Amino acid sequence: MQEISSSSDSLVKLDQGASSLDLTWQDKTCSTFHHIWLRDNCRCKTCGDPATGRRSLRLTDLALDIKPVAASLSEQGDLCLTWPDGHTSTFSIAWLRRHAYDTLSRKSSAFTPVLWTEGTRSAPPRLVFDKVMTDAETFLTMLHHVRDHGLCFLHGAPSQAGSLEPLAEKIGPVQESNFGRVQNLVVDETKQSVANRTVALKPHTDEPYRASPPGILLFHCVETDVTGAGSPLFMDGFALAEQLRAEDPEAFEVLTRHNCTFRRHFAGDVDLIAEAPAISVDEFGNLSGIRINDRVAAPLAIAPEDVEVHYRGMQRLLTLAEDESLAIKLTLRPGDVAVFDNHRILHGRTELSMKGRRFLQWLQVERGDFHSTMRIMADRLETQRGIAPLLRGAY
């Protein structure tokens, strides 16, 4: 054991055990770091390039029972380890604290979504399109709104087709699908997608029948018929799921544990089938993703003893999704853009009555690219990355 004088956010004690080091922090919490984990994560240039994440050290070259022959704290406060082959590893205390994997540390760094309230629905995040496109801080603010609330509206975009792609490409590469790179949403009854019709669409997440559903969706209103009726709807799927958890914990648990089956079949075009829970949670029960779209639900195949509870939970979840008092209901005007996380936000619309033309363009960007861009922008602006971003989604 080594006693250490310390300032705040540093160590007070270092204990070496048979297979791990126990570090006691200034706030009296303790983190365990296994010897094999420390050797595997050596930050020196011989073992790899920490700046790029490229590793040259191979796990297959290490003994699983490896143990340092010496462990101490330098005058700078770094943890210094010497291994049996003479190799030395140095870890800053700040790095160790950031990567601590004890239960308390993992739980405190897990993403906790900010659920919508009536205030969110009445005054959702809004920014000016040109500022997002030209000002780095405003662009990062938009990314943070989508991360934290799942959605951000932009106004003042050009009212012409093609204006959305530059914004999407700032976030990440545009994803293509069987609908193409850019989907034009116009009223056309000959199209296979119901998005091109006038019928009401219940709030839903898009394409849950894919192994990885579309991530960040962008809708741009190019033209709209303001004399007709019909409004887009946006809902916080996480808030709906949390309401179900509060009302019926048993049904919530079944919906997180069992897979739903989803299918989309266009003869001669696609036959997509995926199985995944309607509600995804992390190891601590924090919501991480949803798939809600009963229009593409396929026959359920789960343990018979859970079928009735499953249907009870799904019916309540879908009932909540049809409650327009829980939705943001607005008419997108020419130049308006909606950017939202399809793994959290449900979208739909009331029935359209068209006297003129309605033209929206739709694009999608993968969530991994979204989070990558958010980290890069935070580093570029030398700002704190803040809370660990939601990564898992509805997988």
Span 9-18, pLDDT tens digits = 577 888 999 9
What secondary structure letter does DSSP report for 164? S
Flag whether pLDDT at 389 surpasses 70: no
- Split at pLDDT 50, 70, 90, the class of 344 is very high
Q: Which CATH number fits domain 118-380: 3.80.10.10, 3.60.130.10, 3.50.50.60, 3.30.300.30?
A: 3.60.130.10
- Mean pLDDT for 27-31 is 91
The span from the CA of 326 to the CA of 272, in Å, is 31
- Give 314's contacts (C-beta < 8 A, 6+ positions apart): 255, 260, 278, 294
* Mean pLDDT score, 258-281: 93
C-alpha closest to that of 274 among 252, 285, 254, 289: 289
Cα–Cα dist 87/181, whole Å: 51
Q: pLDDT digits over 316-337, tens only?
A: 999 999 999 999 988 888 999 9
Of 22, 49, 54, the residue nearest 35 (C-alpha): 22
Average pLDDT over the chain reads: 89
Taking the C-alpha atoms of residue 311 and residue 316, their distance in angstroms, rounded to an integer, is 8
Q: What topology does CATH give the domain 2-108?
A: NE0471 N-terminal domain-like (3.30.2020)
Across the range 366-390, mean pLDDT stands at 86
Q: Where are the domains of the chain?
A: 2-108, 118-380
Q: Is 142 helix (H, G, I), strand (E, B) or coil?
A: helix
CB 194 within 8 A of CB 293: no
pLDDT at res. 201 = 86
